[in-house]
Amino acid sequence: MEIVIAFLIRLILVLLFLPFSAADKIVNFSGAVSQASELAPSRGLAKLLIFTGLTVEIVMSLGVLTGFFDKAAALILALYCMATAVLWKRFWATGDFAFTGPSRGRELMWDFWKNFALAGGFLLITFGTTARTVDAFFADPLGSTHPYSITETAP
């Protein structure tokens, strides 16, 4: 039962990326490139950004799910969440931020903070929840947490 719970927690954490966001980038590639073009100076760079995002979403999500280099994969996903929040959830730039009534800025603000909250979940995998586990990351940043082991292992 412990293994199932550990897997489901990790699945919930990556579900946004794998399969949903990754599938959306594939199915709606031109729309994704158009969105990336808002910040990229060329269409070629926008395509590269989408391919990079797609790779991060698939490969790093699989790392978190399988436990294979999961600390590094979770760190990359956390940084990805924060970068996409800052680059594409710019609620401060909409010019219509309001606490009542229609407001694109307010909608983006919630998306911005949701990205950071998700990053926090990934950082818990990366660094753990105690000073001892934070130290363990720096001792072996490419190590795995062995999430499906039911015997006690060193962090």
Backbone angles phi, psi at 68, to 5 degrees: -85, 110
C-beta atoms surrounding 142 within 10 Å: 10
CA-closest candidate to residue 19, choices 10, 7, 11: 11
- Measured distance CA(146)–CA(76) in Å, rounded: 18
pLDDT in tens, 105-119: 999 999 999 999 999
Per-residue pLDDT tens for 77-113?
A: 999 999 999 999 999 998 888 778 888 899 999 999 9
At 113, list the tokens.
């903070």
pTM above 0.85, yes or no: yes
Using the predicted structure, report yes or no on whether residue 154 has a pLDDT greater than 60.
Answer: no
CB 89 within 8 A of CB 111: yes
Per-domain residue ranges of the chain: 2-139
- Evaluated on CA atoms 141, 129, 52, 91, the torsion sign reads negative
